[in-house]
Chains A and B, each alone.
Chain A
Amino acid sequence: MTLNEHPLRHISSKAWTWVRQNLMSTWYNGVLTLICLWLLYQGLRWGVVWATTQADWQVIPANLSLFFVGQFPPGQIWRLWLILMLVSGLGGLSWGNRSGILPRQLRRGGLLILGLLLIAAIAVPLSLPLRVWILAVTVTFMAGFGLGYYDQGYLGKWIPLAWVFVLLAGLWLIRGGLGLKFVPTNLWSGLLLTLLTAILSILLSFPLGVLLALGRQSQLFVIRGFCILYIEIIRGFPLIGILFTAQVMLPLFLPVGTRPDRVVRAIAGLVLFSAAYLAENVRGGLQSIPRGQVEAARALGLNPVLVVWLIVLPQALRAVIPAIVGQFIGLFKDTSLLAIVGLVELTGIARSILANPNFLGDYAEVYLFVGLIYWVFCMSMSLASRRLEQQLSVREQ
């Protein structure tokens, strides 16, 4: 009898210890726990009742493709799947190639996503082409991973170049031309437009931000002054104002009659805005580099440009990776403001779906779903950056 009870009692006493230590170490902690439990219970109960009886979730599956690709011509959707395949294939390749260095949690997360995708392709009742595409994306990813995993060394060198190729191919596939059907930018919408503007703005604002940060540290008075002026003015002004200026006022500053495409104008606004913030982050990194590094490099006979390029920047940028990722997460969220200046990105498409008479009043459902999409992207970026940060600090020690 005692033999049977023993392990059970052990576990229960361990659990009891945990509860005592973590939930009721003092009398007010106990009260806090009770209050929290009560709040949690009320919130959960209300949430479950709402989600199961009052919410009208029809709006999500009915507009699923609108959320993701917006008004992209249905006949041309295969181009977007192709981009997804390219990205997942190359992503798998890069990942496999570096799988030795990657932390285990990231690998586990990746496997989880992969498994979910497979389940989605097989178990969830989707249309046949959709299943085939999901399967194809998963298979390319695995193929890429395998290729990268068993081929240490040779392919690695070409991966950055391959990403450049994928990026350009992606742009071409979205825009069309050169043999493909042309898709005008007013049909670019939904998550597609969000990702496109975010990625392009991030890539373009990076060099501009680094240049501004270097300019701000420059010994040349004029350049330093100009950079400070630019950074401070932009940082003192709301993004919505900058986007509005780029959308409505930019044509006033261009030669008579020119009017760049609205997506280009939006990206220009985001880049100009983000670069100023990025410059401040990079400046922190630049200031953390000991003078000795620069002096040593100069003593070796490197010219100033090479000193910056080879010695200062690599160290400075490494030091501020977390801040830069944080900035990019901010930029990703900020693309939602494009909805106010008339672009139909993820938030914009949510608004236009809600304007549809059939879905009038489904605000909570739509905004929660869209919020979830944003959350998944931002959260995975911030988790990845946290792991990267830990890894860097471990390697330095």
Chain B
Amino acid sequence: MAKWGFIVTTALLAMSLVSCGGEPTDPTAAGVGTGQSRLGTVLNRGQLICGVSGQLPGFSFVDQSGRYTGLDVDICRAIAAALFDDPTAVEFRNLNAKERFTAVQTGEVDVLSRNTTWTISRDSSVGLEFAPVVFYDGQGIMVRRSDNIQSLEDLKNQSICTQTGTTNEQNLADQMRKRGIPYQPVVFEDINTAYATYAEGRCQAVTSDRSQLLSRRSTLPQPKNHLILNEVLSKEPLAPAVAGGDHQWFDVVKWVVYATIEAEELGITSANLDELTSSSDPVVRRFLGVEGDLGQGLGLDNDFAAQVVKHIGNYGEIYNRHLGPQTSLDLERGLNQLWTAGGLLYAPPFR
């Protein structure tokens, strides 16, 4: 009896595990290389699968109530709003720096919205397509005020913490080599470990994207005791990415991001959206899908931009919600202003 029980258990377990996996037979996972666009599979599924970091307050983070929140998260929600008129139709997957590209390539996630730097090799040999930049960043270095470090030169023979699998690790090596400064890299696979090690004082400095440093500084016990050096080691345009070779899906992601930027330029916010639908301005009317058929060309509803603004708001609203003055991060918009205000954000015409 016991023996048979065991055999039955194992067999059933094996079966249930396979069914538990869910995805091996999930048709939604396919469609990377097949002729069909991922847009169709996402629409059929009724849910967007979005790869995020989940570890970075301000960009993607699980708050006290268990909800994902942040700029990267809102980009995913905006896409879901455009597709389903429902910003909650998103499943978030936490990805670490290491597995993020494989997850896109193999189709585990539909979109990677995980403060990923747009580089030529990732665009070409890694086989990704990058949507418009949602955050212009640069690599910075954070040190303790008490250590009296003013520049990279002061870090001679000191330990610098960073995370493996990022452009930061290589940029740091490049910059220090260029200046001929010897230093000791202390590299971790886990981003939390890297910051914890810095916080405990093992490293004199920690390097990462400046936005990430600011976000992390706010979580340290005494944020005022830490200083982010003025030196910028690199430019880091952070953008959502999708798998290469699927233009229809790429277009959807691209234009949803542009829609948030265009909405800010046109002065459309989630608050005044309802008034503006009756606006007489043809540009606004076209943008909101009151007239014209801009959405149809993408395979979406004509009012997709209106749905995005209704549920998520324009870029400025998103930014202020997660990174603006009211938040603990309080990041200056700087390069992330509209082009009309001296920044780099510029959406092509919706026409």
The residues of A with any CB-CB pair to B shorter than 8 Å are: 71, 157, 160-161, 163-164, 167-168, 171, 175, 184-186, 200, 203-204, 206-207, 247-248, 251-252, 254, 256-261, 263-264, 267, 340, 342, 351-352, 354-355, 357, 360-361
Contacts and interface: CB of A to CB of B under 8 A. Distances in A.
Given A175-B20, A256-B32, A355 B13 contact: no
A251 B93 contact: no
Given A204-B13, A351-B190, A258 B200 contact: no
Contacts of B220: 357, 360
Given A157-B1, A160-B1, A361 B221 contact: yes
12 contacts: A161-B1, A163-B9, A164-B5, A164-B9, A164-B12, A204-B17, A206-B10, A252-B106, A257-B106, A258-B29, A259-B23, A261-B22
Contacts of B192: 351-352, 354-355
B343 to A, nearest CB: 30
Interface string B1-42: 110111111101110111011111000011111100000000
Given A257-B32, A355-B196, A361-B200, A171 B20 contact: yes
A252 B14 CA distance: 22
A184 B47 CA distance: 13
B55 interface: yes
B102 A251 contact: yes
B219 interface: yes
Contacts of A257: 29-34, 106-107
Contacts of A163: 5, 9
Contacts of A261: 20-23
B30 A203 contact: no
B91 interface: yes
A360 B216 CA distance: 12
Contacts of A161: 1, 5, 8
B262 to A, nearest CB: 33
Given A160-B5, A256-B30, A203 B13 contact: yes
B231 interface: no
Interface string B280-315: 000000000000000000000000000000000000
B21 A260 contact: yes
A186 B92 CA distance: 9
A208 B62 CA distance: 39
Contacts of B195: 355
Contacts of B221: 357, 360-361
A200 B10 contact: no
B164 interface: no
Given A157-B1, A160-B6, A257-B30, A248 B99 contact: yes
B303 to A, nearest CB: 30
Contacts of B18: 264
A204 B10 contact: yes
Nearest to A339: B190
Nearest to A161: B5
B9, B32, B62, B200: most-surrounded residue (chain A CB, <10 A): B9
Given A164-B5, A171-B13, A342-B95, 16 more contacts: A71-B62, A160-B5, A167-B13, A204-B10, A248-B99, A251-B102, A254-B24, A256-B33, A257-B31, A257-B106, A257-B107, A258-B30, A259-B23, A354-B196, A355-B196, A357-B218
Interface in B92-128: 92-96, 98-99, 102, 106-108
A147 B189 CA distance: 52
B102 A168 contact: no
A168 B16 contact: yes
Nearest to A256: B33
A262 to B, nearest CB: 9
A98 to B, nearest CB: 12
B199 interface: yes
A183 B210 CA distance: 36
Interface string B41-83: 0000000000000010000001000100000000000000000
A168 B189 contact: no
Contacts of A175: 20
B17 A267 contact: yes
A264 B196 contact: no
B12 A168 contact: yes
A247 to B, nearest CB: 7
A207 B190 CA distance: 35
B16 A355 contact: no
Contacts of A360: 196, 199, 219-221
Contacts of B22: 261
Contacts of B190: 351
A311 B13 CA distance: 27
A127 to B, nearest CB: 18
Interface string B204-220: 00000000000000111
Given A167-B9, A251-B106, A259-B29, A200 B196 contact: no
A200 B17 contact: yes
Contacts of A157: 1
A340 B10 contact: no
B106 A259 contact: yes
Contacts of B1: 157, 160-161
B106 A204 contact: no
Contacts of A160: 1-2, 4-6
Contacts of A267: 17
Contacts of A351: 190, 192-193
B91 A259 contact: no
A364 to B, nearest CB: 12
